[in-house]
Structure 1
Amino acid sequence: MKRLLAAILLFATVSSAVETLRPEQLRRGMKGYGLSVFKGTEPERFDVEILGVLENAFPKQDMILIRMSGANLEQHKVIAGMSGSPIYVEDKLIGALAYGWSFENEPLAGVTPIHNMLAEIQRPAPPPVAAERPRPAAAAENLKPLLTPLALAGFSPRTVAAFAEEFEKLGLLPVAAGSGGAAPGARQPGKLVAGGAVGVELIRGDFNAVGVGTVTHVDGQRVLAFGHPFFLAGQVRAPAVEAEVHTIMSSLMRSFKMASARGPTGAMIGDWQSCIVVDTQATAPMIPVSLTVANRTTGHQERYALEVIQNRALSPLFVQVALFEAVTSATGSSDDTMVRVELEAETATRPVKVANTFHNPLGGLVNAWAWRPLTALFQSPFGDPGVRRIAVNVDSIQARHTAEIKSAFFARAEAERGTAAPLQITVRPFGQPETTLTVPVPVPAALDSLRVLQVAVLAGAQAPADVAPPDNLNDYLAALEKQHRHTDLVVLVRRPGYGLRYRGQLLKNLPPSALALLDDSSTADITSASDVQQIVVPTHWVLTGRAAARIPIRQE
């Protein structure tokens, strides 16, 4: 009861810091104004008229409909980057401009009620969850959150186009911008005011990416902005900055603010349905990332230093964006390219090192396989690995070193127990004659039931790693390092019977007595597994294709 009373008093204190009107107090035709930055850093006024209220547009959240005029909005319509612009009626704050329609003929918008936003100032922050942006009710057909301009510096149009679909899913509109000048530690502090432009830094350093919106309300060191979610990330930390608007880019499809980051203003600490919350006294740790890219064809090498947001869902994406740009700039060609990528990461539990080689027919780093270890690193099913640092080394050459597995056969008519049967594997390198690799395959001596030895030959990209399903975070990170490389030729040798999986380990070649004892135990950690031996042959080609072979075993 005491906690409830304290919460009510706290909310009353917060709410009393600004005069407000609730949706039920508004009537069609009421006039007011809004504040937003259209150039520079100073907010300007524009006029608004209340059109009505969409009740329960979101769960327990109404939507106020307004028509805007002035500040050239008749031409621009609703502008991406105006999200969060405070709207006042009778000089009382009613909410934040946050929603709009595509291809609208008039500057109409949806406003998030301020009382929904004020409730987030002291909201207890639960652990973040993966979620999609909330969608309005059917009555608000095609009403969507305004896109958030993503001010990019250091990125080429090719990179922006490559990630356009991912940006759109996140409600981001990529926009070319400057980096804001000085390094983060050398910038003068910024200031956030109602109607001012605010940015959230996702990448900073040699590359920059800042999501830009508008401040709705300042209450001490807590700031409300955007009027809709940024990523709906819940409890999250990301550096906040004051933003400077250079100009408005007018478009029939969507007008947007062209802006860039200025001085630091604390950190975003909450990303909720009705708004984002910034604490001007908070800090946000980021993940240091170093990229080294070498082009062996030209002899050119480049190093990049940057930081990315610390978030399991967003960190891998923005490392990918920076890496794509770095590699594309280094290769500078649309020809066949071989790319070797080496990823090193420092986590809270152990270091992780993964390397692989890819072939890209269009140049650059466009192979989706390259991102898998990076994404897997952050999205462990065993919780946050606590990534503290990432280093990526990329070595590229304009060439095509690929080969296709064509066939496999045993050179002998029969195999003897306890010996090695030579397996002949035919591969066809690109642009070259076929060649044969010989792999000795051990024939078990003790398995009397084994009559025929069967093997499958796979390219490393298709072969399963020889690891048990991980049982904990440490096993999971270790398994990432044991994935086959695309240059590996993998021979799978199937044996009769089975082994066991126990606490993240594969137990193979167990004697029958041990198998029976463990299999009959009541330990839930024990499960059966096929007894398959793997023989890995490193090559200098990126391999594709598969083959199979079998050989009878001589019976005594």
Structure 2
Amino acid sequence: MRGIVRLCAAIGVFACAFVGRAHAAPAETYPLSKVQRGQTGYGVTTFAGTTPERFTFEVVSVVRNFLPKQDIVLVKSSDPKVQTSGFWQGMSGSPLYIDDKLVCAFSYGFRFNKIALGGCTPIEYMKKDGDAYRRNAPVQAAGKPGQPRMVIPAASSSMADWKRLTPNVDVAEAMNALGPKHRSWLLSAPLPPPLPKTSSVDGSEQTMVASVPLSISGFSAPAFSQLEKMFGDSSLVPVRAGAGGAPGKENVPNKFVMGGSIAVELIRGDMSAAAVGTVSYVDGEKVLAFGHPMFQTGETYAPVSTVYVHTVIPSAMSAFVMGSAVNEIGSLVQDRQSAIMADTGLRTPTIPVDISITTTSGKHVETGSFRVELMANKFLTPSLTGAALMNAINYYLPDRDDVTARVDSKVTVKGHEPIQFVDYMHANDGAGSVMGSVRGLRVLVPLMLNPFAPVQIERVEMKVDLRFEANFGEIKEIKIPAGELVPGERNTLKVLMSTWDGKDIIEDVPVDVPASLAGNIVTLEVTSGDSAKLDAAPPVDLPSLMAAFRRLLPGNVWAVTLYPADEGVALDGKLVRDLPASAVDKLRPQSHTHRAQAYKPIARTIAAAKRVVEGSSTMLVRVRDAR
């Protein structure tokens, strides 16, 4: 038998009441204990537009303990409406009735199936998961009483979340874990853990998988490919679906109904990504949908919207629905094993992302902008922001030509001064290299996974200036004219560089040598600012983490670093340099704590470069004795 596939269609919260019951009492339910082989009934789902339609089904069997402490009902359908497509992705959550009573929500199907056969989740499990305890209490939004309340998720992360990035609480290690600076890091950032695979009904080697159509619009082919890879280990399956909603105001639903479609919006605006599925049950403001999880991440918040269904796309492997989110009317609250739950009386904030692009080629200048809003989620927000910037750059930089880029980025965090960067980089392989170098994006990953305190990102802004030129140089060799460094003075180094056309050039680079290094042999390192080792203590709280971010350097400066043999200590997030050995021994931690840590002190000189700098070079050098 084929492996079961969750035809879940959506990252969102689907809840509704059947067409004529929007304001009626909750649907009466049929007990699982009475379900038997051969019983018949009808289901409700949306084949096109916004109006749910009936289809007939027959009970095949009840499979006990299909998931931990959860049974499912196997059903089949010979209804002509599903003969061409079978059960499809996005149909998950469709309510099924026996004797006009709600028994379950369609949730699983088989790939490559010759008949419409699948499984549905009993409503009693879904109602139980929908009543799970909420940690976040909503607050009344500004405006008139009766308006939707706002919920601000406490998006705190744990040490376990941080360790998915790097084992140590170290900013440099966290940034390095995302990969080289000039490469896309979208596939390196942690995402929600994939759903565990479960055994198929007949015990074959094939396993049940979740398959949630993620309706994508406004993304170029390279960016779409990145999204496919990003969600490759998850239940989300990106599909081209288009945005813009329903054709005509009369087709825009303003409430959830049972059997109607629902969408969870990850990103919306000039680009969009929304998971589409079906509403199973509506009880006042509470809506249940899917009949299975999206990520099974428990209490989770995201905007949920009604959907206009364009059509169902038949497929021999697995059909799927093509739909567009049209009207936000609630917030996702729970993402549990048997269902997702939404609340139409809540709204959850999104993160505005503003991207402006300027391209210059000779005298030709072109400008453009993109504005999107993102789901606020510690795992998804950084990667979705990176995908949005990559997509914007791809639009203006479709060819893989030499380009020098300047990117001004600003991350506004509630209760803190904004984190701002100006990055300079060279790329000859398209948008991935440019996006991968933007520090304002890279810091989002450790910032939102930090184990110290919750953060609320209020806005992300990026201004990109692309110039079709190759103004960069790669470091080849360091030369010290005097043969040694003079202590207590500014020395000048000669740095040999190779340009893009193979020519060698020499730049004078300054280095300040502390008088305390007289008579020592030190390691001299010359590199670009964005390749230099971070000169900051390991963070111990959110302020020290953000302070470390602000010490990250751009790629158009020289970073000349002297590494002496002495040791220092990082104490409570601050660097204590030039300590005697006895003091270092006293402060060295005797247990596993971040309060005091050994630290190698450095002396660093930062100087402006005439071009984007690539590469690095090191050498041992003597510092002249004091006179």
Q: Post-superposition shift, 1:300?
A: 1.3
Match of 1:358 among 425, 440, 443: 425
Kindly provide the CA deviation profile for residues 316-369 of structure 1, in whole angstroms up to 9, marking residues without a partner as x.
232223222222222343322233222212212311112323333232345434
Moved more, 342-351 or 436-445: 436-445
Match of 2:57 among 45, 48, 51: 48
Q: Is the 8 A contact 1:23 1:62 kept in 2?
A: no
Q: Post-superposition shift, 1:195?
A: 0.8
Is the partner of 1:321 in helix, strand or coil?
helix
Match of 1:195 among 241, 255, 259: 259
Is the partner of 2:613 in helix, strand or coil?
strand
Q: Is the 8 A contact 1:356 1:485 kept in 2?
A: yes
Report the residue type matching 1:368 in the other structure.
G
Moved more, 85-94 or 437-446: 437-446
Q: Is the 8 A contact 1:339 1:365 kept in 2?
A: no
Report the residue type matching 1:464 in the other structure.
K
Q: Is the 8 A contact 2:357 2:465 kept in 1?
A: yes
Q: Is the 8 A contact 2:525 2:618 kept in 1?
A: yes
Supply the distance in 1 between the matched residues of 2:475 and 2:200 (Cα, whole angstroms).
Answer: 54
Is the partner of 1:63 in helix, strand or coil?
strand
Match of 1:476 among 537, 540, 545: 545
Supply the distance in 1 between the matched residues of 2:584 and 2:231 (Cα, whole angstroms).
Answer: 52
Q: Is the 8 A contact 1:79 1:254 kept in 2?
A: yes
Report the residue type matching 2:421 in the other structure.
V
Q: Post-superposition shift, 1:472?
A: 0.9
The two structures have a TM-score, normalised by structure 1, of 0.88
Is the partner of 1:75 in helix, strand or coil?
coil
1:304 match: 370
Supply the distance in 2 between the matched residues of 1:245 and 1:296 (Cα, whole angstroms).
Answer: 41
Supply the distance in 1 between the matched residues of 2:98 and 2:251 (Cα, whole angstroms).
Answer: 37
Supply the distance in 1 between the matched residues of 2:104 and 2:610 (Cα, whole angstroms).
Answer: 61
Match of 1:65 among 52, 74, 86: 74
2:330 match: 266
Supply the distance in 2 between the matched residues of 1:419 and 1:262 (Cα, whole angstroms).
Answer: 66
Moved more, 75-84 or 529-538: 529-538
5+ residue gaps, structure 2: 1-24, 136-153, 158-191
1:176 match: 241
1:489 match: 558
1:464 and 2:533 matched: yes
1:8 match: none
Q: Post-superposition shift, 1:98?
A: 1.6
Q: Post-superposition shift, 1:419?
A: 4.1
Kindly provide the CA deviation profile for residues 28-50 of structure 1, in whole angstroms up to 9, marking residues without a partner as x.
33333221101111112222232
Is the partner of 1:471 in helix, strand or coil?
coil
Distance 1:206 1:445, change over 3 A: closer
1:395 match: 465
Report the residue type matching 2:576 in the other structure.
L
Supply the distance in 2 between the matched residues of 1:478 and 1:555 (Cα, whole angstroms).
Answer: 36
Kindly provide the CA deviation profile for residues 122-161 of structure 1, in whole angstroms up to 9, marking residues without a partner as x.
2102477854324324656545455322233333333212
Aligned-residue CA RMSD in angstroms?
A: 3.1
Q: Is the 8 A contact 1:149 1:175 kept in 2?
A: no
Report the residue type matching 2:127 in the other structure.
L
Q: How does 1:223-242 map to 2 (within 5 A)?
A: 223-242=287-306
5+ residue gaps, structure 1: 1-15
Match of 1:36 among 30, 39, 45: 45
Report the residue type matching 2:425 in the other structure.
F
Q: Is the 8 A contact 1:452 1:552 kept in 2?
A: yes
Q: Post-superposition shift, 1:304?
A: 2.6
Report the residue type matching 2:244 in the other structure.
S
Report the residue type matching 1:198 in the other structure.
I
Moved more, 418-427 or 397-406: 418-427
Moved more, 242-251 or 307-316: 307-316
2:307 match: 243
Distance 1:143 1:39, change over 3 A: farther
Q: Post-superposition shift, 1:516?
A: 6.5
Match of 2:216 among 152, 173, 184: 152
Q: Is the 8 A contact 1:100 1:143 kept in 2?
A: no
Is the partner of 2:400 in helix, strand or coil?
coil
1:339 and 2:413 matched: no
1:498 match: 567
Q: Post-superposition shift, 1:540?
A: 4.7
2:148 match: none
Q: Post-superposition shift, 1:387?
A: 0.8
Q: Is the 8 A contact 1:337 1:397 kept in 2?
A: yes
Q: Post-superposition shift, 1:416?
A: 4.3
Q: Is the 8 A contact 1:410 1:549 kept in 2?
A: no
1:136 match: 198
Is the partner of 2:84 in helix, strand or coil?
helix
Is the partner of 1:399 in helix, strand or coil?
coil
1:376 match: 446
Q: Is the 8 A contact 2:62 2:74 kept in 1?
A: yes
Distance 1:540 1:441, change over 3 A: closer
Q: How does 1:5-24 map to 2 (within 5 A)?
A: 17-24=26-33
1:97 and 2:106 matched: yes
Supply the distance in 1 between the matched residues of 2:590 and 2:446 (Cα, whole angstroms).
Answer: 33
Distance 1:72 1:188, change over 3 A: closer
Match of 1:318 among 384, 389, 399: 384
What is the percentage of aligned positions where both structures have the same residue? 30
1:406 and 2:476 matched: yes
Kindly provide the CA deviation profile for residues 96-129 of structure 1, in whole angstroms up to 9, marking residues without a partner as x.
2122333333322222221110002321024778
1:211 match: 275
Q: Post-superposition shift, 1:223?
A: 0.8
Supply the distance in 1 between the matched residues of 2:119 and 2:72 (Cα, whole angstroms).
Answer: 6
1:11 match: none
Figure out how many residues of one structure are paired with residues of the other and give that number.
539
Is the partner of 2:345 in helix, strand or coil?
coil
Kindly provide the CA deviation profile for residues 188-222 of structure 1, in whole angstroms up to 9, marking residues without a partner as x.
76121111111122222333332210001111221
Report the residue type matching 1:114 in the other structure.
I
Is the partner of 1:324 in helix, strand or coil?
helix
1:429 match: 499
